[in-house]
Structure 1
């Protein structure tokens, strides 16, 4: 069995419930009120697809838990439920909510609405999956077939054809009032479930609302009597109330709420991998005009990814060197920021290399016997569809040249290497895959012809040139495709067999970046071949975001144990120190003075953006020097460590004095609000007499042998050479490590702990993940949770890595690692407008999926 061979398992995740939660499903099953028709079919389909029994059982259990938190369809009293399911990007959320749909139908739900992506291809893809996993018929074929052809049975329909659900949408067409009206009976008179998969579009929602009011509503109550389940896929995208005033709601948000309000009994379940925006929904928005917003007031459920999930931990932390390749050659030919009329005469050498790697990786997969499986490459390098078209043309030209060369010379054995194109493929194989299993060059060369004959280069966007990604083909050979696109490739769309990704985008919002991670998912039998090309800044950001997402799941589990409510969880997330940047600006409500309640417990704050003012930089060095000298004069012990020096038991007043004198910029308000002296001082002052009275101070020193030590506070300290953003440096700002805002490493935070404490923390982390192996790089939060640990100030001399004679040799940067706290955080007022947000975190991109104004 696959389970026995690969040891794949899936945990059940955490659940945070409202105080009034009352289980109903257990009794309903015992009383025979729940059928097993739709779920039974779907379970068999999952097994037929080769999913391990443990994963199917996990899906069974978690969908049971979700259904139990929805309203009981046999309860005829009015009710409404709001919940959220938090998964991982490309980890199987669609499969999960398909299982939930099946179980809801078995329980008695008769109207099920799935709101899919904001683009047609995402909606169509979701419809196809619902066809296969719930309906059992190809709705696209059904829409245009004659009576003799109507029974196009697929998926679950192969097992039992007694009760086909009615679908008012199909794989070819979104909801249409005229088509739906052919179902003349009211919904209350239909004995099988009715399902709609609609695009997240205000016109579509308007049509659905009008149709329901015209044909399916009891005039006396203006409510549909049947229980309704609404599943909002990618719930953080376009569903959030983004208007600046509470009484001004966005159309889609308003329409979703109106749709729910039409029913006596309704459930809303938002599925997302990036829940930050949902947490910012105001839970107090509840009046007659606005109805109730979509805040998940009743439950929040975290989905654990199966152990074979190929996610950020593996890609950006555990095996970064294996999977990540850096893009550093694009600015001259394909700059990160470009206009809509940007010409693409040539493509960067890194993109050429990525395409060659995809061709070779596909050949290796074929040699491994995977030729019937699909293989895809993602190219996401521009937000403009016109530029995407030009990139596609250049890649298509390149693939055509390779195809011609392979057709002529690939069959000539070793002599084929005289052909420059084949020689280039061989060089790529040698760099990337020479040590891969079953990847000897003769085997690869023998497969090149079949790879190139099948390879297609397509656009996936909103242009007329775009082609649908059709993975339904089943035959001797799977699809081999290079998909070039933008936003469509950034959210929701699944690229089957994704092997190589080329990602050249500039977004700094958590949700946008994580959703762009189409390379996450499952890669059975070819995980070792997967490669991701991206700029160095992006690598740092993804590692940082993974830690934030991990924090969120850990916090969810801790709040489950504490029996916290969703409202309390929302407040906890909003008080996370990353709260100002976790989601796009327009989802945060206001551009005026924004009161932000920030709690620093169990968090690390670092200075990574410092204005290049030499007077202030010198003053910062003196502040650090005085701190260490003052501590020494007070008898504080200092010990030499493998990576620097540790001072133990430094008085909090010395720490506060250092932070008062240190400035990230000449003015009083730093670019990064997390390093605001007022915020930090308020937090420390509230704990100075107890939890934060004594500190550890670690002076980090690089272990590189080729760096010249610098004299600092009587010590010889080897500086860390870190990259800086050259554009910001030209504007007199040192932005270390690009956008990731991390200058240290997880191991820094072990300083001040004993070997036993470190081992115990890692063991506790392992026990919190019983179904997963302990990753090579653990979340450093575990070290902040060690009972009784002191707060830690990390001082680090940084040498800006930039060819500029005016760059200082050593800049003092700091990090503050705060332990757990029993005291709540304070409130700090920030003036956060569009200009300020741009200064702090860069420009948030707006996708141009159609012709529009240049940037």
Structure 2
């Protein structure tokens, strides 16, 4: 086969690109629906006329088309994945801080460390920009003494600590001299944060950093408040990482009152890490009594029990799940982020909910790294935990085998990964359950014959390495900043078999405690139980998780391996290093709690293709929902930022969509001021992606759609040639069809609340009177003026033959065995949103330079506005081939045959994006305390 990347094939690529710019479908380019001549004949003709190189073949042309198709898909994913910093505040209140430029400034030294740690230029630029934006909102004590309160929303395990360290470094350069970091409720998480910040900031430069550990009236002399150097010209900077418990916070507040003269010189920043934990007031907010920890944090920030206040006080909270922070209370004395709310950007190296679980509304399927734990296996785990049986379920054996395979692979000379590699087992909060699971894992690994384990590992290896490859990763996360050939991949099994034997045979034990009092690590597996009942040391072993220090003399030559079993301590904050295998059964119904348990989110440099997660289908569905919830929240913050209003004037809304009945945002006592508010449907495009596996329901939807079409005016062929358009359809006909004709699956989103949508539309139209009649577009493949063929199934409507579209099922066939529906992931083709361009604009529209197959939402709005559709809603209809199959290569990417009993009808509703009032769909928004607004205007 010729080299298609040679320059002589540029003319073929140009032909394909030109065809796409004219909105030819892939099927049309490949002549799949043509009855006039074959693709082979077409290529021969192009070669004969000299338009294509002489060595152009059918295979080379198809490969060029497939590469272009893949590139388009990646471009669309990249567009959606791009995130920048969003800050909501009063733009008029910013200070004039700039980025410290001196090479020995704390910021430049920290920046140098980030470069040494492998941060990309893009990540550092985003971090610098977000840090500067936060600092410009803060009070430095120069012109005002008001307490500034803000909130930054990040992602779970996405580098919030890096943002906090960056903020401390840059703030220190600008004169802030004392930092308090409130770090959870568990000591080993607090010490991990303290250690990380010290390593990030403690460099020889213009400033000297000091840790004030557990400040109190009994602190050593050099850590007493009166001993600190807080004058403007002093180069000392101090920080305290404090637990959120009563004793530590009481002592800290007492310590601040020891020397009023020193306190007046203090410029303080309080950073609340995991601000949705413990800091929330869970007492009745209408009473005078506050939750104890919340009251102590309020005292720290507001100085309620101090006669004198610092020169400046700023409170900045960080969290990945801000629902309770948004919805609980907004009184002036609360911790509500009255001054600013921001959303941190996400580095391209980060693997989060969107990358792993996909985005339902955008058609992102996620990485094929999640494996299902069946209900039968869940029962076996529960029996194991209660002591009714001791055997491991097959799914846990799979996860163990994959962990061993990953350790052996990462130790292979071709990779030579030397950092810790971990497996997480999180099935229960109960400590006795942890002990039983640990004992069962130990028994299985020690007592199962070695040959049997090796053979099982080989079977798991063959299955897993075929299911997810470097190519799969780049397909799922095209923006990941490492090329496919630069990703570490799986060594041949025969080359890791000896190391697998070594790992199993060496040892399975807790971390050993040497005669020298140091922790010692071996080449086998370290079995750790991390919960509050373990003090760490038991006889000659350290039971809790303790990773080796990279610089210690006892650091092992090979990557050390850890199996970690636990509950609360693993649910929030603790970073699990080199996490390649997760066995997860915890499934609370509060979205903030569940998301915080995602220890598998984060950065996976050097072992990107190895992580796997075992969980139930139900839990997987919850995380997929949360992926969408995160995106909706960022969208809401972005929209809110554009209004120019401060959080103290108008709190952000959190969509309380009933996509899943089992999910609530947070506990009831953590959103006491939440009120239902109107949510606008305008500017939205909602697709139907869930389909009943039921012949009667599917047939009923087809009949209802055909009845709708009969009531519409005469259609015409669209400018895109693959669809027909019915103009000016009255909404009463559409409403009847949506509310009485169609049956939607309970997992559908907007369609599951179609009555609310119709109420909203009628009210918005009545008050604004700016909507035109609806356009109904029936879209498909090929030319509707042509008949069907063996390769083109058609739907006959009003004398047109609409080609049925191919939409395979999202997920493997076995996932749907006990379900009554199929999920196709994505229905709509982006170009179809402009298929209803009026006839009078056909000629002008053909000259649009941008390829409409890759339309952004903003581009859709622009084109619709330009071509007289700015106020025209659209109902887009497809007929799907019931026998749809994955395209070549999609089978391994978590796709399967659709296999429905009837060719189903799918619809998409597009609403113009004007900001209309009076919507009916509900969201949750905090009820702003009037005193908050008055408080602000008095300043």
Q: Distance in 1 between matches of 2:530 and 2:349?
A: 28
Aligned residues of 2:697 and 2:743 also touching (Cα < 8 A): no
Q: Which residue of 2 aligns with 1:802?
A: none
Query: 1:16–1:565: 8 Å Cα contact kept in structure 2?
Result: yes
- For residues 344-395 of structure 1, the C-alpha deviation after alignment (integer angstroms, 9 at most, x for no partner) is 5222211211111111111111113434222112222223333233222222
Which residue of structure 2 aligns with residue 103 of structure 1? 170
Q: Secondary structure at the match of 2:915?
A: coil
Task: Give the Cα separation in 1 of the matches to 2:531 and 2:165.
Answer: 26
Provide the secondary structure at the position in 1 that maps to 2:544.
Answer: coil
Write out aligned runs for 1:124-203 (5 A). Answer: 124-134=191-201, 136=202, 156=203, 159=204, 163-169=208-214, 178-179=218-219, 183-186=223-226, 192-203=236-247
- Distance change (3 Å), C-alpha of 1:472 and 1:20: same
Structure 1 residue 526, shift from structure 2 partner: 1.7
Asked if 2 retains the 8 angstrom alpha-carbon contact of 1:90 and 1:494, the reply is: yes
Where does residue 461 of structure 2 map in the other structure? Answer: 429
1:531 is displaced (CA, Å) by 1.7
Q: 1:672 to 1:556 in 2, by over 3 A?
A: closer
Deviation at 1:458, TM superposition (A): 1.4
Q: Compute the displacement of 1:457 (Å).
A: 2.0
Q: Does 1:235 align with 2:275?
A: yes
Q: How does 1:515-530 map to 2 (within 5 A)?
A: 515-530=596-611
> Deviations for 1:118-137, whole angstroms, at most 9, x for unmatched residues?
32222121111122123x3x
Where does structure 2 lack aligned partners over 5 or more consecutive residues? 1-77, 304-308, 471-488, 505-522, 536-542, 782-789, 836-845, 883-899, 926-939
The gaps in structure 1 that reach 5 residues or longer are: 1-6, 137-155, 170-174, 406-418, 769-779, 800-806, 833-855
Matched, 1:204 2:248: yes
Q: Structure 2 CA distance, aligned partners of 1:168 and 1:208?
A: 10
CA 1:648/1:514 → structure 2, altered by over 3 Å: closer, same or farther?
Answer: farther
Mapped pair 1:585 → 2:667 = yes
Which residue in 2 is equivalent to 1:632? Answer: 710
Instruction: Note if contact 1:14-1:302 (Cα within 8 Å) is conserved in structure 2.
Output: yes
Distance 1:552 1:397, change over 3 A: same
Of 321, 343, 346, 1:274 maps to 321
Give the distance between the partners of 2:617 and 2:849, measured in 1 at CA: 34
CA distance in 2, matches of 1:534, 1:36: 48
Which deviates further from its counterpart, 337-346 or 682-691? 337-346
Deviations 1:174-223 (A, max 9, x none): x666346874443776563332111233443234334434x24579xxx7
3-state SS of 1:596 partner = strand
How far residue 660 of structure 1 moved from its aligned partner, in angstroms, is 4.3
1:304 aligns with 2:345: yes
Measured at CA, do residues 116 and 794 of structure 1 come closer, stay the same or move farther in structure 2, by a change above 3 Å?
farther
2:114 corresponds to? 46
Tell whether 2:628 aligns with 1:550.
Answer: no
SS at 1:269 equivalent: strand
- Sort the Cα spacing of 1:422 and 1:448 in 2 relative to 1 into closer, same or farther, 3 A: same
Alignment of 1:655 with 2:734, yes or no, is yes
Alignment of 1:448 onto 2:500 = yes
Matches of 2:279 and 2:295, distance apart in 1: 9
Secondary structure of 1:200's partner? coil
User: SS where residue 250 of structure 2 aligns?
Assistant: helix
Q: Is the 8 A contact 1:313 1:546 kept in 2?
A: yes
- With over 3 angstroms needed to count, the CA separation of the structure-2 counterparts of 1:72 and 1:709, relative to structure 1, is same
Q: CA deviation at 1:280?
A: 2.1
Alignment of 1:465-504 (within 5 A): 467-474=544-551, 475=555, 476-504=557-585
Instruction: Tell me how far 1:564 sits from its aligned partner.
Output: 4.8
Cα distance in 1 for partners of 2:354, 2:302 equals: 41
Name the SS of the counterpart of 2:652 in structure 1: helix
C-alpha displacement of 1:449: 4.7
- Residue 694 of structure 1 is matched in structure 2 by 774
Q: What's the TM-score once normalised by structure 2's chain length? A: 0.66
Contact 1:16 1:560 in 2 (8 A): yes
- After TM superposition, the structure 1 = structure 2 runs for residues 617-766 of structure 1, keeping only pairs within 5 Å, are 625-626=703-704, 628-635=706-713, 637=715, 650-661=729-740, 675-676=752-753, 679-688=756-765, 689-691=769-771, 693-696=773-776, 745=826, 747=828, 751-754=832-835, 759-760=851-852, 762=854, 764=856
Shift of 1:168: 1.9
* Shift, 1:620, TM fit: 11
How many angstroms apart in 1 are the aligned matches of 2:428 and 2:831?
A: 41
Separation (CA, whole Å) in 2 of partners of 1:722 and 1:487: 33
Tell me the alpha carbon deviations over residues 381-427 of structure 1, each in whole angstroms, 9 at most, x when there is no partner.
2233332332222222233346x83xxxxxxxxxxxxx211111122
Distance 1:670 1:327, change over 3 A: closer
Alpha-carbon offset, residue 304 of structure 1 = 2.0
Bigger drift between 232-241 and 431-440 goes to 431-440
Assess if the C-alpha contact under 8 Å between 1:684 and 1:692 holds in 2.
no
Residues 417-463 of structure 1, C-alpha deviations (whole Å, 9 max, x = no match) = xx211111122222223777350123212322554433112122223
Please tell me whether residue 372 in structure 1 is matched to residue 418 in structure 2: yes
Matched, 1:537 2:609: no
Q: 1:723–1:736: 8 Å Cα contact kept in structure 2? A: no
Distance 1:643 1:525, change over 3 A: farther
Partners of 2:439 and 2:724 in 1: how far apart? 56
Which digits, 9 at most, give the CA deviation of each residue in 1:701-758, with x for residues without a partner? 9xxx9xx99999999999998999x9xx99xxx9867xxxx77525367644349799
SS at match of 1:197: strand
Per-residue deviation at 1:113?
0.8
Q: Partners in 2 of 1:116 and 1:183 — Cα distance? A: 20
Following TM superposition, by how much is the alpha carbon of 1:817 offset from its aligned partner in structure 2, in angstroms?
4.8
Counterpart in 2 of 1:460? 530
Contact 2:713 2:726 in 1 (8 A): no
Residue by residue over 1:537-568, the C-alpha shift from the partner in whole angstroms, topping out at 9 and shown as x without a partner, is 33344334333323433454455455454457
| Rounded Cα–Cα distance in structure 1 between residues aligned with 2:702 and 2:82 | 48
Q: Distance in 1 between matches of 2:829 and 2:649?
A: 31
TM-superposed CA distance for 1:525, in Å, is 2.2
2: CA distance between counterparts of 1:809 and 1:342? 48
Alignment match, 1:826:
919
2:875 matches 1:792: yes
Could you say if the C-alpha distance between residues 246 and 422 of structure 1 is closer, same or farther in structure 2, counting changes exceeding 3 Å?
Answer: same
Output the CA distance in 2 between the equivalents of 1:533 and 1:586.
Answer: 30
Is residue 255 of structure 1 aligned with residue 296 of structure 2? yes
Deviations 1:37-68 (A, max 9, x none): 43343233323323334433443333222222
Structure 1 position 271, deviation (Å): 1.4
1:484 to partner: Cα distance: 1.8
Alpha carbons of 1:735 and 1:240: their partners in 2 closer, same or farther (altered >3 Å)? farther
Please report how far the alpha carbon of residue 241 of structure 1 lies from its aligned counterpart in structure 2 after TM superposition.
3.3
Return the alpha-carbon distance in structure 2 between the equivalents of residues 831 and 60 of structure 1.
33
SS at match of 1:747: coil
Among 357, 375, 383, the residue aligned to 1:316: 357
- Aligned partners of 1:785, 1:566: CA distance in 2, in Å? 32
Distance in 2, Cα, partners of 1:60 & 1:643: 48
Q: 1:231 touches 1:271 (CA, 8 Å); kept in 2?
A: yes
- In 1, are the aligned partners of 2:761 and 2:919 still within 8 Å (CA)? no
Contact 2:275-2:325 at 8 Å conserved across structures: yes
The separation in 2 between residues aligned to 1:342 and 1:783, in whole angstroms, is 65
Cα-Cα RMSD: 5.2
Q: Secondary structure at the match of 1:631?
A: helix
